[in-house]
Structure 1
Amino acid sequence: MSLPTYDQLMLPLMKLLSEQHEAIKFGDMAILMAERSGLSTEELNLRLSSGTKTIFYDRVGWAKTYLVKAGLINQPKRGFCELSEIGRRLDLKNLTSITIEFLMQYESFSNYKLGILKENKEVENEVSEVTFIQKLEETKTPDEIIIGTTELLKESLKRDLLRLIKENSPQFFERLVVDLLVAIGYGGSHQDAAKAIGKTNDGGIDGVISEDRLGLDKIYIQAKRWENTVGRPDIQQFKGALADQVAKKGVFITTSNFSKEAIESARKSGIVLIDGDKLTSLMIEFGLGVQIERSFHIYKIDQDRFDEDNF
């Protein structure tokens, strides 16, 4: 018996959750899936080449991730899963399988799956998104597949980071901003930066941080853990606060996004905007809240080693 693929695990996973009366831990869910799989102990113990986890556990994880992206599974709290209202409306008894093509009918999943590729879509409008993905896979080089998959994993990680940030308190977000700015190179020491952030309460300014270790210049910070789009009035308020301080540099950080008017207003004033997408990108770039699970080396021929003139 061969190990089921992640898509072959999606329907069994949905059926298992339909039997639960409350949210279940992912670890417990994976154990139940393993017990129902009919796989031998040896098969269940097969591990990824990295050795970090079993192949079966990894595939259950990806099945869960895709179902969450489609909105069929909710995560009411960290590490727990349950069927969503949309998931409960599915006729699971008469479904023979849940495939990527099936999930593409849900906008949240299609947006996730296509990711940044959607901006570069060059096929006719009547071509389905599933066909678009298939065409991309048929024409990609191995290098392009690696890059595309890496970007897809990165986008998924960024969404998960943003969700975790929003689940925590505003005070957690302030500390996160401190950690990020120090990681980037601002604020001198972490202790100095921590003293500066969240202490001013001065008309739209949440903190002041040194631009360099010598403290020769100051950057004024606005840090907002928001859901709604930040508009022009919010930027105008921040600009007014900067003017009162005779400040030249400001950074507005939010977990949401900025309206076009807000972006234009900030651009004219030299205010740097960091939205949720940029925030999580910087966290990944500077290793804040993330860790490397595994890495790969791609080798090529060293031509000099085979050039006889070099010997």
Structure 2
Amino acid sequence: MAVPDFQAFLLPLLRFASDGEVHSLQEAYSVLADHFKLSDADKTEMLPSGTQVIYKNRIAWARTYLVKALVLESPKRGLFRITERGRELLAGNPSTLLVKHLKAYPEFAAFHGHGNNTVDSAAATSLVDVDNEKSSSTPDEIFEMAYQELRAGLATDLLAQVSNNSPEFFERLVVKLLVKMGYGGSIRDAGQAIGRSGDEGIDGIIKEDKLGLDVIYIQAKRWQGSVGRPEIQKFVGALHGQRAKKGVFITTGSFTKDAQQYVATIDPKVVLIDGGRLVELMIDHNLGVSVAEVYEIKKIDTDFFLEG
């Protein structure tokens, strides 16, 4: 089954703690993974950032919410046990436990509203509003989803800008991107190489490393539609003519499935970079974009609190 939303972990986690013993998050990860019959794939699914496993992130946030509602207490970082309030809650034999139920506790309501009267309460609670489609997501997931949405919008706008410029601008863009990625030595070296060949489907040659121990042949085409296998075959033929081992075909358009299957089975090695991948690389390497805002996500520095 898919990983349940984080609210689904609230009641099973509280019931797991009902024995009154001190438990660790590591124990909870194992017990709740078994409870929900998570598959190996479920247990390795990561957040979009690739920094955390989703089910562990959701269990950790479920514990945080239960602690803030004072139905669990945390005697030490990463540990938890049930409180008298938690026992009273379970005594009512609830069939479900959601964020809206925890809001009945003033301590949790204050936490959920961030305890800041200067913050618009509607905006503060909307992040985990049970009527919102994202209500089942943890704050980490909500933040990452917002980031991914902003990035996707940026990528769309960026590709439109690239496509609306001249072929010459596109070639210069390719040079700058490859250099930022560590190829070609300097902008000057790369700039001299690109656009010089024009040799049967080869737009340029660029160093693979700063020493020039190997070279990469490039085809850079500003293309609106899909690039098919015939175009790639022309490029590969040109590579064979140069006895080249490596090539990169970059376009603002896309590649047909036939073209992608073709390059997967040939020698020399050819990498296809379509418009979507191109702008992702531009964003990753800060080309054509600038930083608008920086948000720092901080966590406890456990080393700071070690005594001895």
- TM-score normalised by L of structure 1: 0.55
What residue number does 1:246 align with? 243
Separation of aligned partners in 2, 1:159 and 1:304? 42
C-alpha offsets along residues 66-112 of structure 1, whole Å, 9 cap, x if unaligned? xxxxxxxxxxxxxxxxxxxxxxxxxxxxxxxxxxxxxxxxxxxxxxx
Aligned AA (2:303): D
- Within 5 Å, which residues of 2 pair with 1:221-300? 221-269=218-266, 270-300=269-299
Task: State the match for 1:197 in structure 2.
Answer: 194
SS in 2 for 1:213: coil
Q: 1:220 aligns with which of 199, 212, 217?
A: 217
- Residue 164 of structure 1, CA deviation: 0.4
2:135 alignment partner, SS class:
helix
Q: Which residue of 2 aligns with 1:167?
A: 164
Aligned to 1:305: 304
Secondary structure in structure 1 of the residue aligned to 2:205: strand
When structure 1 is superposed on structure 2, of 297-306 and 276-285 the one drifting more is: 297-306
In the alignment, which of 125, 131, 139 is matched to residue 142 of structure 1? 139
Aligned-pair distance for 1:253? 0.2
> Could you tell me how far apart the structure 2 residues matched to 1:284 and 1:161 are?
9
Structure 2: runs of 5+ lacking an equivalent:
1-130
| Distance in 2 between residues matched to 1:215 and 1:207, nearest whole Å | 14
Return the offset for 1:176: 0.1
Alignment of structure 1 residues 79-228 onto 2, 5 Å:
136-228=133-225
Q: CA deviation at 1:286?
A: 0.7
Cα distance per residue 1:237-292 (max 9 Å; x no partner): 11100000010100000001111110011122220011111100110111101111
Structure 1 residue 302, shift from structure 2 partner: 2.4
Runs of 4+ in structure 1 deviating by more than 6 angstroms, as ranges, are: none
Aligned equivalents of 1:213 and 1:135: distance in 2? 51
Alpha-carbon distance between aligned partners in 1 of 2:223 and 2:133, rounded to the nearest angstrom: 36
User: What is the identity, as a one-letter code, of the residue corresponding to 1:187?
Assistant: G
- Counterpart residue identity of residue 262, structure 1: A
Aligned residues: 177
User: C-alpha displacement at 1:214, in angstroms?
Assistant: 1.2
One-letter code of the match for 2:137?
K
| Structure 2 Cα separation of the partners of residues 136 and 143 of structure 1 | 15
Q: Take 1:208 and 1:298, find their aligned partners in 2: how far apart are those partners?
A: 42
- How high is the TM-score relative to the length of structure 2? 0.56
* Percentage of identical aligned residues: 53
Quick one: distance in 2 between partners of 1:306 and 1:209?
51
Q: Write the distance in 2 (CA, Å) between the matches of 1:141 and 1:183.
A: 35
How far, CA to CA, are the matches of 2:304 and 2:248 in structure 1?
Answer: 50
Give the secondary-structure state (helix, strand or coil) at the position aligned to 1:242: helix
Output the CA distance in 1 between the equivalents of 2:297 and 2:136. 20
Cα separation, partners in 2 of 1:187 and 1:304, compared to 1, 3 Å: closer
- Structure 1's unaligned 5+ residue stretches are 1-133
Question: Match of 1:212, SS?
Answer: coil
- The structure with the greater share of residues assigned to helix is 1
